[in-house]
Amino acid sequence: MRQCRIESLGVSLPERRVLPRGSMRHAVTAGKHCIRSSKYAPADIQVLINSGVHRDNHVCEPAIAVYIQHRLGINIEFQGRETLAFDLHNGGCGMLNAIQILCALMESGQIRVGMTVASEANSDRKPDPAYPYPDSGAAIILDRSPLLDRGFGHFAFHCREEYADLYTSIVDISVPRGRIRLQRAAELEAVYLGMIPHVIEEVLAKDNLTPEDIDRLIPAQISPGFLDQLPRMTGIPENKITGFPADLPDTLSTSLFLTLERSLAEKPANPGETFLLLACGSGVTVAATTYRF
């Protein structure tokens, strides 16, 4: 039974700037866009989850979600309408984890409206040239679906922890202000691709679907080569796979929902269409869910 839907989606797109805007600015911009197009007011949001990986000044306490909550004006004082804000970290799959949690909280009757935000930026004064991700932000408001067969279906997360060392990101604090050191092994994409058939098989089976039932596959934009391999690995024809290899690079935690936003902007979904969302990240983790409009 599908009970949780995307009520609103907002993004802050990568852009070329002399002075980078930072992850907080991208999170807040995406959040404001999302709230502006929502029927809900900020005060209606009961849980706010930030699932971005890289943070301005590498702050590790308090939760970055609290700073975002403050800047979006979501129930910022005690003893009134209340919001719980926290961070969730799981690399490129973090937003899907956050959505699964918000869906669980809705299904168990704990909340009615939730929001997840992610943003990425490298705030180092001299960023490592190997750092690959352009700055960006994405935000989603979720609520209970008015129709029982619309919204998110089941989720599948596959983790191959034996490959955990293929993707590591740390803040080196041996230097003042800290510095991001990110390492991605060349074989990482091959591991993602090898895991994808199993994840998709599981999620489609849970939702009683076949690849033919999928109207659009929305993948994280890992690389043009990765996108080229998806028809073979998923059994979904190329014309149903959304890729923007020329102008939408991989943006880590935000990539899946920047892709969804662009796809819907170019061609809105028809009621009853089923999308398959696919994310990949460190761990090594590959995650998928279905969404019916």
Partner 1 sequence: MHMTSRHPLKIRIESMGVYLPDTILTMEELLESCRNRPKWDLERITGIHERRIAVREYAADLAVRAAARALRLSTYSAEDLDAVICTSISKHDRPDEFSLEPATAVRIRRELGASKALSFDVVNACAGMINGIYIMQGLIRSGAVRRGLVVSGEHNMPVAETAAREMRHSFDGQIAALTLGDAGAALILDGSPDPIRGFHYLDLVSAARHDHYCYSRPSKRGPGGILVTKARGLQRKGNEHFPFYFKKALDGAGWALEDLDHIIPHQVSVRGIENSARALERYLGTPLPPITRIIADHYGNTSTTSHFVTMHDFILSGHIQSGDNLMLVSGASGIVISHAACTLDDLPDRYRNHFGPGGTP
Site string for partner 1, 141-180 (x = CB under 8 A): --------------x-x-x-xx-x--xxxxxxxxxxxx-x
Distances (CA, A) of 78 to 44, 50, 74, 87, 112: 15, 20, 11, 20, 20
Site string for partner 1, 213-252 (x = CB under 8 A): ----------------------------------------
Q: At 101, which helix (H) or strand (E)?
A: helix 94-107
Provide the residue type at 125 as one letter. Answer: R
Q: Residue 198: which residues within 8 A CB-CB, separation 6 or more?
A: 158
Taking the complex as a whole, how short is the minimal distance between the CB of residue 144 and partner 1, in angstroms? Answer: 13
210 binding partner 1? (CB under 8 A)? no
Taking the complex as a whole, how short is the minimal distance between the CB of residue 157 and partner 1, in angstroms? Answer: 5
Neighbouring CB atoms inside 10 A of 156's CB total 20
Contact with partner 1 (CB under 8 A) among 259, 282, 289, 290: 282
Which residue, 42 or 243, is less far from partner 1 as judged by CB?
A: 42
108 binding partner 1? (CB under 8 A)? yes
Q: Cα–Cα distance between 88 and 66 in angstroms, integer? A: 12
State which of positions 246-275 bind partner 1 (CB under 8 A): none
Which residue, 167 or 275, is less far from partner 1 as judged by CB?
A: 167
Which residue, 163 or 242, is less far from partner 1 as judged by CB?
A: 163
Burial annotation 263-272 (CB, 10 A radius, 16+ → b, else e): bbeeeebeee
Q: Cα–Cα distance between 11 and 215 in angstroms, integer? A: 23
State which of positions 30-49 bind partner 1 (CB under 8 A): 46-48
Q: Cα–Cα distance between 239 and 216 in angstroms, integer? A: 8
Contact with partner 1 (CB under 8 A) among 7, 44, 87, 120: 87
- Cα 122-135-126 angle, rounded to 5 deg: 30
Which residue, 5 or 262, is less far from partner 1 as judged by CB?
A: 5
Taking the complex as a whole, how short is the minimal distance between the CB of residue 152 and partner 1, in angstroms? Answer: 12
Contact 53, 60 (CB under 8 A): no
Which residue, 222 or 241, is less far from partner 1 as judged by CB?
A: 222
Count CA within 13 A, CB hemisphere, residue 288.
26
88 binding partner 1? (CB under 8 A)? yes
The residues binding partner 1 (CB under 8 A) are: 46-48, 53-54, 57-63, 65-67, 69-70, 74, 76-79, 82-91, 93-94, 97, 100-101, 103-105, 107-111, 155, 157, 159, 161-162, 164, 167-178, 180, 182, 281-285
